[in-house]
């Protein structure tokens, strides 16, 4: 009895998930998406309508024959998702509903991940406080999804790099206990890729690479329609393949890594050096303003066309393009998306990256991979964190 119950519930959850991704679906659509028969799906959807989770929404446009009924998630009986993005310096939290609308305005805190001791306690009180202030009742919250840097085993819920728990402890369980909600964690770049796959440029594609341009450079890989992590979770160490002629030593102990020349922190350093050397730039003023991090100022200046910022960013973009060429040769992806905080500088990246790809790629290969800038760079890690919850939680 319990086994059939869980199987029934698994399909029920699956139906809800497909409605979450696709907004409006017919029974035939759902049958195809879940690979289950129509009578079975019909039964499940009828139950969901009865329970108030799903509502009928009129007839689908004609496709030649009898018009089908469409179904939506019910706005009135809502569940909510807490989505958190943690990076080296800034932690952001937001609450979404199941229609991807922001339910509670995002909140931000400056939190240096390197301070292991203080940051964990601060993090927990920040999130707890935010949820409490939101006024949403406990039963309505499906869970908390957290994207963070580091080598992460999402299934086990372990982060091998940051927020380490004593004696091989499980971060996911630790946080679930502390926050009193189901917690799901995953790597930031993987979540950005997930967001692009489900709601962004990569919809309905199978092989998509998402470059996470942040304080460092990350790579989220979608292969065969799923997040790819490699054999031991280290896949996508894109920023440490030897590329540049640069002699600077990387934190990984090697020279010529992409990271050394393209991370936002490095670009800021370079801008400061240029300014110190006498180059004039709006940045000189902006850097004095402490309300934002220098990296944030840098991106704003670049977006606004400041020549120094644009020039530094272009050099970095060319190197990233060289790295992408290697990626294209090996994986022949359908799409490469430039995402992450840095992608808010948008189009500035495109020209030098294309330039590099033209120079380093076999044309036949370059022609088969589209490059684009994420349309929702700032939001996509949070969105990915929300998807993480929807993918893993239970709807009862």
Partner DNA sequence: CACTACTTTTTAAATTATTTTTTAAGTATA
Partner DNA sequence: TATACTTAAAAAATAATTTAAAAAGTAGTG
State the minimum distance, in angstroms, from the CB of residue 322 to a copy of itself: 8
Angle made by CA atoms 34, 39, 45, in degrees to the nearest 5: 65
Q: Under the criterion CB under 8 A, does residue 355 sit at the interface with a copy of itself?
A: no
Q: Under the criterion CB under 8 A, does residue 276 sit at the interface with a copy of itself?
A: no
Nearest CA to 195 out of 327, 97, 74, 100 is that of 100
Per-residue binding letters, 187-206, with a copy of itself (x by CB under 8 A): ------------------xx
State the minimum distance, in angstroms, from the CB of residue 219 to a copy of itself: 8
Q: Are 373 and 349 in contact (CB under 8 A)?
A: yes
Nearer to DNA by Cβ, of 4 and 167: the residue is: 4
Cβ count near 188 (within 10 Å): 27
CA 163 to chain CA mean position, Å: 19
User: Which residue in 334, 372, 392, 395 binds a copy of itself (CB under 8 A)?
Assistant: 334
Q: Under the criterion CB under 7 A, does residue 140 sit at the interface with DNA?
A: no
Interaction partner, residue 285 (a copy of itself, DNA, none; CB < 5-8 Å by kind): none
Map the footprint of DNA across residues 147-186, applying CB under 7 A: none
CA torsion 330-336-342-345 (nearest 10°) is 130
Q: Under the criterion CB under 8 A, does residue 3 sit at the interface with a copy of itself?
A: no
State the minimum distance, in angstroms, from the CB of residue 30 to DNA: 9
Map the footprint of a copy of itself across residues 219-248, applying CB under 8 A: 219, 223-224, 226, 228-238, 240-242
How do strand 335-339 and strand 208-213 relate by DSSP bridges? parallel
Residue 104 pairs in a beta bridge with 95
How many chain residues bind a copy of itself (CB under 8 A)? 40
Q: Which stretch binds DNA (CB under 7 A): 33-41, 121-129, 168-176, 247-255?
A: 33-41
Interaction partner, residue 140 (a copy of itself, DNA, none; CB < 5-8 Å by kind): none
State the minimum distance, in angstroms, from the CB of residue 255 to a copy of itself: 10
Q: Under the criterion CB under 8 A, does residue 329 sit at the interface with a copy of itself?
A: yes
State the minimum distance, in angstroms, from the CB of residue 9 to DNA: 10
State the minimum distance, in angstroms, from the CB of residue 330 to a copy of itself: 6
Q: Which stretch binds DNA (CB under 7 A): 23-31, 142-150, 153-161, 348-356?
A: 23-31
Q: Under the criterion CB under 8 A, does residue 325 sit at the interface with a copy of itself?
A: yes
SS3 readout for the chain: CHHHHHHHHHHHHHHHHHHHHHCCEEHHHHHHHHCCCHHHHHHHHHHHHHHCCEEEEEECCCCCCCCCEEEEECCCCCCEEEEEEECCCEEEEEEEECCCCEEEEEEEEECCCCCHHHHHHHHHHHHHHHHHHHCCCHHHEEEEEEEECCCEECCCCEECCCCCCCCCCCHHHHHHHHHCCCEEEEEHHHHHHHHHHHHCCCCCCCCEEEEEECCCEEEEEEECCEECCCCCCCCCCHHHCECCCCCCECCCCCECEHHHHHCHHHHHHHHHHHHHCCCCCCHHHHCCCCCCCHHHHHHHHHHCCCHHHHHHHHHHHHHHHHHHHHHHHHHCCCEEEEECHHHHHHHHHHHHHHHHHHHHCCHHHHCCCEEEECCCHHHHHHHHHHHHHHHHCCCC
Q: Under the criterion CB under 7 A, does residue 24 sit at the interface with DNA?
A: no
State the minimum distance, in angstroms, from the CB of residue 245 to a copy of itself: 10
User: Which residue in 99, 307, 362, 394 binds a copy of itself (CB under 8 A)?
Assistant: 362
Map the footprint of DNA across residues 59-88, applying CB under 7 A: 59-60, 62-69
Q: Under the criterion CB under 7 A, does residue 137 sit at the interface with DNA?
A: no
Q: Under the criterion CB under 7 A, does residue 1 sit at the interface with DNA?
A: yes
Q: Under the criterion CB under 7 A, does residue 360 sit at the interface with DNA?
A: no
Q: Under the criterion CB under 7 A, does residue 2 sit at the interface with DNA?
A: yes
Interaction partner, residue 334 (a copy of itself, DNA, none; CB < 5-8 Å by kind): a copy of itself
Q: Which residues bind a copy of itself (CB under 8 A)?
A: 205-207, 219, 223-224, 226, 228-238, 240-242, 252-254, 322, 325-327, 329-334, 360, 362, 364-365, 368-369
């Amino acid at each position: 009895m319990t086994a059939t119950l869980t199987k029934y519930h698994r399909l029920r959850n699956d139906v809800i998930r497909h409605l979450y991704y696709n907004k409006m679906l017919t029974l035939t659509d759902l049958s195809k998406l879940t690979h289950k028969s129509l009578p079975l799906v019909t039964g499940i959807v009828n139950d969901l309508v009865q329970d108030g989770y799903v509502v009928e929404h009129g007839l689908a446009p004609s496709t030649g024959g009898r018009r089908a009924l469409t179904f939506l998630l019910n706005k009135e009986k809502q569940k909510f998702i807490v989505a958190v993005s943690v990076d080296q310096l800034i932690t952001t939290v937001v609450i979404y509903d199941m229609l991807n609308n922001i339910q509670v305005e995002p909140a931000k805190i400056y939190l240096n991940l390197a301070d292991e001791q203080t940051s964990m306690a601060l993090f927990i009180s920040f999130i707890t406080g935010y949820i409490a202030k939101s006024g949403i009742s406990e039963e309505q919250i499906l869970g908390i999804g957290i994207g963070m840097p580091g080598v992460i085993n999402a299934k086990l819920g372990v982060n091998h790099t940051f927020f380490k728990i004593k004696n091989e402890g499980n971060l996911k369980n630790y946080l679930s206990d502390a926050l009193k909600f189901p917690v799901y964690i995953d790597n930031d770049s993987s979540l950005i890729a997930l967001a692009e796959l489900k709601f962004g440029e990569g919809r309905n594609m199978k092989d998509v690479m998402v470059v996470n341009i942040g304080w460092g450079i990350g790579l989220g890989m979608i292969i065969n329609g799923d997040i790819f992590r490699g054999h031991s979770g280290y896949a996508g160490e894109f920023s440490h393949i030897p590329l540049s002629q640069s002699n600077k030593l990387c934190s990984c102990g090697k020279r010529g890594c992409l990271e050394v020349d393209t991370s936002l922190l490095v670009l800021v350093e370079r801008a400061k050096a240029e300014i110190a050397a006498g180059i004039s730039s709006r940045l000189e003023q902006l850097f004095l303003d402490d309300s934002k991090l220098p990296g944030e100022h840098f991106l704003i200046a670049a977006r606004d066309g400041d020549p120094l910022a644009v020039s530094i960013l272009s050099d970095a973009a060319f190197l990233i393009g060289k790295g992408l060429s290697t990626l294209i040769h090996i994986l022949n992806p359908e799409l490469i998306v430039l995402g992450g905080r840095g992608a808010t500088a948008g189009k500035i990246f495109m020209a030098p990256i294309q330039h590099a790809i033209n120079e380093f790629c076999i044309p036949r290969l370059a022609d088969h991979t589209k490059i684009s800038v994420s349309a929702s760079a700032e939001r996509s890690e949070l969105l990915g964190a929300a998807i993480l919850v929807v993918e893993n939680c239970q709807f009862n």
